[in-house]
Structure 1
């Protein structure tokens, strides 16, 4: 690429060099004609004599050797610490015995100068999808704090939300003397292929409750033409209980569990939780927990039947359960 401030293009260099070499012009006269110094004119003429037309192109200004360049072992240590510790140039310099500018230059040269490029979310995700509905169900529980009468702090503010908690009294208190509002436990069973979801709001996350939800979820899917074969869960207590194992045996389901501390394996139901909290639980002001729970069935119907899902091409989940009467109602 030609330098933006270059006085000569490769074609002009060639013309000037030919005037000096072939037509015997003095270098001073040729330089005056092309608006450059005599030294520049002689340099291009010498290159033309040595290399011909090919010598008129630009060359890299990089030196042939860099004796002061950071040695490979130290470069490797700087990059290793950057990847493992996420340290900046000053911390790396203090640890490796180089100047901060040197550490920064190493990071730029190796392409790790920006932390945003090192985050896991920038890596290509590993995705999977089973070929037919029912081949794999994802089950999980989402725990949400109950809303006090009058509204919670997310919409009415910290002071008003705290006052509403105290007005909605009659409950046990925590160590800060604040009333305990309790929690709702949303048990979700989601089909891997279609992303169709069955969900119930319960008062606990015990084994019997989870087993009961599984029985009703399998029946709900069966009514829509889906035969469940396997179910994937995390390692929560309710999914390790005898009630859950018994329910899977009765329903002829193969139970599977994710690797500990690896929620990505159950990522589809985890993503459903995020959608659920954003579009239902925290989407608007509810003046009581009863009002929020009353809105849940309507939202779940919208999610299954009408909301476009980007994971399946922008179609609603129910559209993947074929030959289902009234699936778009």
Structure 2
């Protein structure tokens, strides 16, 4: 017999007082009073377990927002784009002016049966990560296979900027050769400038260093040497060294799978151009500050080149505009306050420093908020805007 039945029997059948029953059974008298009242109204139904769910949930998301989360998930997944909680949160904030935590989004996706837990995956914190500080400091390259609707095999060659994840060149070919690598690399240089270094695997189209010393440099290595570009190759059997371009190709293939299978090489190139535009300009990237798009980071920062001095005087740091409308920057051991404007309070920014030349950029939009030369003798770097309301000139 349950404790509830024993209490009801003791109070209503035996006639014992509620205070005495509370002491005997180790329960509160208020609970006994509620139980007796419920038993009087409902009978034996009062002994059935009841939900502890609160009658109201003031912090619960509106149903319209929950429906929008599920709709975004289906739309993004249908296009072959990333549709995780972080990406959905970015779209909610930038396209619908809604701020929802990734935990809430994940919870509602789980409830809708749209997420399958994968506890066997290796945690991201276990990986050793590296990234270039400036655009064009390092270009990664690789090629992957893709099959046309006719069954013909093709290869897709990709050039990716390591710092911004900007897709510099994505082209389709019957077969990637050393000549094609040089041709596409030259086109990328003409559009984006000469990079400081390149990072590739040890394929023969990229390097002959594992060919036993036969044949000397290939065409790609010779071009790097002419431009003074540093060549970096991954360690054999370590594909994670070129992980960024490998991950880019995975994202590309996921998107291509959702498209009609191209019948010709030209049709495939048209699809690649559409994906590159979406990837660079509209798709938020989780690895970038504040999930910015690759184009925002690539176009807002100074570019490295073979002659760039990459030392501590060229820095990139992140900050948030404080309540006074400024951010802080330490130069040569001295802390400086840079005025941005109170209306930018809580805005996340990127600060680009080349010696004393300083540029402050909105991390989400790429908008330049300040571009000036820092005065090392002053603690506060004013915006130069006039303070207070403009005074009217007296009429004469």
TM-score between the two structures when normalised by the length of structure 1: 0.49
Higher relative contact order (CA 8 A, sep 6+): 1
Find the structure with the greater CA-based Rg: 1
TM-score between the two structures when normalised by the length of structure 2: 0.41
Kindly indicate which of the two structures has a greater share of residues assigned to helix. Answer: 1
Kindly indicate which of the two structures has a greater share of residues assigned to strand. Answer: 2
